Each structure stands twice: as structure tokens, then as C-alpha cells.
Amino acid sequence: MPLTVIVLGSAAGGGLPQWNCNCPQCAAARAGDPMVPPRSQSSIAVSADGERWLLCNASPDVRTQLAHTPALHPRALRHSPVAAVALTNADIDHATGLLILREGGAPPVYCTARVELALTVGLRVLPALASYGEVSARRVEPGADEPVVIRDRAGADIGVRLRAFTVASKPPPYMLPHLTADEAADLHAGDTVGLELSSADGGAPLVYVPGVRELDEALRARLSAAALVLIDGTCFTDDELVASGASQKTARMMGHAPLTGEGGMLAFLETVTGPRVALVHINNSNPVLRADSQARWQIEARGVAVAGDGDTFVVG
Ligand SMILES: [Zn+2]
């Protein structure tokens, strides 16, 4: 069976518009400019049967994302097609949506040991949820030989297989008091992973990587074997937040390869042959958010799409 993939949220943390931002993209989205539609925070949903879905990341916008997606509406008085959640990291924009899914007990959460630690002692999301019902955190080992069989809360196989791979990443800032200097300095400890998702029958997978800074040979090989790649489109240029005066941080300092410039994502993607590619996790500072921009044209001219909220793909 093919996998169906729905982009629930295509924006990076903060969304579009971001609550405290008046940059050109946020101002246009707020004003209802049809060239800059609003976008919610980073998440996708994946299903093999159209009935049971794996959420990849649970954003703070999950309540409205589910409300706007008929495939994810309840089918009975107390029911949700959301069978499980997988996390690429414990960032606030990827994990705090778990708190919104508390009624009836949160779905099972698939994550690495480092992400589980962050949700337990850092954000304390898992202990908070445990007082509303049993929470099942299920371990994902990056680089494991066998894929993880995704199961719903009753233990039934939903027909989706997951493999995780580490990307060079730092722990979220709120974890620094809870880690030794050596633990915090380990860039491959599993703080952030990419996810490779396929149906139980096999077939070329979807690779979902909303945060990645190092674009290396291993990643190139993995993406080239995929049918669909949904990848980090956070910033157009490395210094766009610095140049606009919005922040002191470059894209790379935040763990994201910029789209353009030396060693950027677009040049890397030109060496990846095979899959359809769409950008996700797009920051509100990124000029590609404007549909009639030069930046958008530059992306699309290379055969790379800019994913939007609600976009649906079929893989396999
Ligand atoms: Zn903005």
C-alpha cells in the first residue's frame, strides 16, 4: 500500500505570522496578502491505510491542524485517527503539541533516548501528561538495522515503518543545565534525527528532515534512494536574521543549512537524483514564503517545491 503524506504545518518555529514579528512576510500574511498565505508550525502526518496516522512532530498548532484536516477527524464519539507520534527532536515547536493531545491520554510517542530525556527532565511534558493517562514513550535507535514497526496504543501494527538517522545537532537550550559538557558537545547523540518512513510492503521511502546543518555523503545517498524528500528550508541565506536586525543568530548557528550560498541546500540538492523534493520548516524571515518572489522562482526553477499547509503526497 502506498503511503499518504499530509503536510500539516510548513513553517518553522513561530509560524507565519509569528506573534511578535513585523517582517515583510509576517506583515503580508497578517494583512491577508494572497501571495503570502499563513502557515502553521512544523508537522506532517503519514498513513498507509488512510485510517491510522502517524504524526511526525506535534506542533503547538496541532489542534487547528487536526481541525482543518478531514482525514484526522474523529470517527466515533471518543476517537482519533492519530495512532502515534514520532519526534525529530524535542524543540518547543515540535514537541509541545503533545500537551494539546492530552484528553483521553496522549498517543504513544516514538523518539530517541535524548529526546525522551529532554521531554522528561527539560520540558517535563511526559510527566505532566502522565497525570492525564498512561503515556507510552517508545525508543527509536538511530542507525538500527531493523526499522521500527509503528503501533497504535493497543499495540496494533498500523502498516508504517520508521528508521531514524542522526544529523549533527545540539541539544535544545533548555537542556544545558541537565547535561554534562561532554554530553552537550556530542553532536551525534540523537538530539535531532531525520526520519525515513515507508509502508510495510516496502517501496522507496519518504525522508523527512526538518532540521539539518551538515549536508554530507551519507545524507546524499539516503535522499537519492527516496521517493519523496521533505527537507529543511528554514532560511534562504545564512545571515538573513542578522542582516534584518531580527537576531544575532545565523541559520547554521540554529542548526540549519541555508538554502543558498556556499555549501547551501540548493547546491546539495542538485547532486541528489531521483526523489521529488519539497521544502518544509520555513522560517518567517525566508523570502520564498512570498509566492511571487525572485527567491521562490529560484527554488522552483531547480525543480524544488515549497510545501504549503495541507499539501498531500502519495509515496510508493
Ligand atoms: Zn516575521
pLDDT digits (tens, 9 = 90+) for 192-221: 999 999 999 988 999 999 999 999 999 999
pLDDT score of 89 more than 90: yes
Q: 83 CA to middle of ligand 1, Å?
A: 33
Q: 273 CA to middle of ligand 1, Å?
A: 33
For the segment 254-283, the average pLDDT, to the nearest whole number, is 95
Q: 159 CA to middle of ligand 1, Å?
A: 39
Q: 215 CA to middle of ligand 1, Å?
A: 26
For the segment 290-299, the average pLDDT, to the nearest whole number, is 97
Confidence of residue 282 (pLDDT cuts 50, 70, 90): very high
Residues in contact with 70: Cβ distance below 8 Å, sequence separation at least 6, in sequence order: none
CA 256 to chain centre: 13
Residue among 246, 313, 243, 240 nearest 282 (CA): 240
Confidence of residue 77 (pLDDT cuts 50, 70, 90): very high
For the segment 250-263, the average pLDDT, to the nearest whole number, is 94
Q: 246 CA to middle of ligand 1, Å?
A: 9
The domain segmentation of the chain, as residue ranges, is 3-315
pLDDT score of 1 more than 90: no
- What pLDDT does residue 202 have? 86
Q: How would you classify the pairing of strands 137-139 and 202-209?
A: unpaired
For the segment 271-276, the average pLDDT, to the nearest whole number, is 94
Q: Are 138 and 110 in contact (CB under 8 A)?
A: yes
Confidence of residue 252 (pLDDT cuts 50, 70, 90): very high
Residue among 289, 290, 288, 309 nearest 299 (CA): 288
- What pLDDT does residue 245 have? 86
Q: 286 CA to middle of ligand 1, Å?
A: 8
* Average pLDDT for the chain: 96
Residues in contact with 186: Cβ distance below 8 Å, sequence separation at least 6, in sequence order: none
pLDDT score of 72 more than 90: yes
Q: 68 CA to middle of ligand 1, Å?
A: 23
pLDDT (tens digit, 9 = 90+) per residue, 146-189? 999 999 999 999 999 999 999 989 999 999 999 999 999 999 99
Hey, which CATH number is domain 3-315, 2.60.40.420, 3.30.70.260, 3.60.15.10, 1.20.1090.10? Answer: 3.60.15.10
Confidence of residue 63 (pLDDT cuts 50, 70, 90): very high
pLDDT score of 60 more than 90: yes
Confidence of residue 316 (pLDDT cuts 50, 70, 90): confident
Q: 119 CA to middle of ligand 1, Å?
A: 28
For the segment 237-262, the average pLDDT, to the nearest whole number, is 92
Handedness of CA 140, 145, 147, 148 (dihedral sign): negative
Q: 21 CA to middle of ligand 1, Å?
A: 4
Q: In what order do the strands lie in the sheet with 53-56?
A: 137-139, 109-111, 82-86, 53-56, 43-47, 3-9, 312-315
